[in-house]
Amino acid sequence: MPETTLAAANVKIVHDKARNLKRFGEFIEEAGASDVDILVLPEMGLQGYADFGLAMGSKEAAEQKQYYFREAETIPGPATDAIASLSRRHGMLVQVGLAERALHGNAIYNSTALVGPDGVVSIYRKTHNTFEFPYFSPGEEMPVVATAHGTLASLICYDLAFPELLRSFAVKGAEVVLMSTAWPMKGHDRATDYHGWAMDLAAQSNAFFNQFWLVVSNHCEKGVYSSGSDYYGGSQIVDPTGKVVAYLADEEGLVVHKADLQAEILRSRTEAFFGLNLLQDRRPELYGALVDDSHRYPAEALQQGVIGARQPAAPKSLHDQRPRLAKPVRSA
């Protein structure tokens, strides 16, 4: 199989779309000079991430909501069109994080757009974002897309802490997962900060358990927001054995790695880790508790005598469970 060049950027993001888009263009040009095929840029990189230290109902919080209302863009939209033009010049796929405008701006999503030479290939909206209320709405879809460089999936920041999501991508055939993040530290010392180190741990673990590639792009600003927080940086490329093959601490720049992606996935599932294929050896028939959502339906629990019972209710057979939130059928 032909080799593919992966890249991710550490970027200092500001709350200025024009400046951020210009910086992205510079990174795309730099990546193009290295024949990069897939480039990942940070979470909310277009407009800048939110300050969650602002008090709810405060004037500052209202102004921040108004900022996203004004500056959010549709996908496709002006920014993704500009990136598509650059992508076309270099034959590159670029993932960019941005505040996505929907419902006339009344619903704002923390999203990524995967953009190729012909325009937007895929949109992902952050699914695990409870703490981002009231600025961003939660996503509901987990797209996996086939490209010339393999089957790709996207995630955003806190999503990395939920292995169920990444395993879902793996069983749907994802070979490379692209992560845009705004991962901060709690302190100011990368060498000792647990919160930053947790990102490295989660990235390597998820790549290892799913035996796929994981490409991470982060912010690297210092002293930002009302809290004076530092971003961790740590943009990296992790191979299917969980090994970090390219890493950048907290300076701006690119990490780049070239490999036969499918060959390395095959090696991880046939040679590395005792030659075990962790997807083949799953026992999904035993994992029903992972998708049991009965706790969300207390009326049913009362009828069944589950609430207040000393013993947990017997799990339903997976074959007896049916979707709770069926989507309406749409005409073609």
Q: Work out the burial of residue 280: count CB atoms within 10 Å of its CB; fewer than 13 is exposed, 13-18 middle, 19 or more buried.
A: exposed
Strands 4-10, 253-259: parallel, antiparallel or unpaired by DSSP? antiparallel
Is the bond leading into 78 cis (omega within 30 degrees of zero)?
A: no
Residues 6+ apart with CB under 8 A from 328: none
Is 43 marked active-site? yes
Half-sphere exposure (CA, 13 Å, Cβ side) for 175?
A: 19
Q: How many CB atoms lie within 10 A of CB 143?
A: 17
Are the C-beta atoms of 238 and 213 separated by less than 8 Å?
yes
Catalytic residue of the set 12, 126, 132, 220 = 126
Q: Considering 12, 43, 73, 175, which one is annotated as catalytic? A: 43
- Cα atoms found within 13 Å of the Cα of residue 270, Cβ hemisphere only: 6
The active-site residue, picked from 157, 175, 221, 264, is 157
Structure tokens, 249: 């601490």
Residue 220 bears catalytic tag: no
- Phi, psi (rounded to 5 degrees) for 277: -100, 105
Residues contacting 77, CB < 8 A, separation 6+: 101
Q: Judge contact between 259 and 239, C-beta under 8 A.
A: yes
Pull the structure tokens for residue 87.
């992508």
- Residues composing the chain: 332
Which residue numbers are catalytic?
A: 43, 126, 157
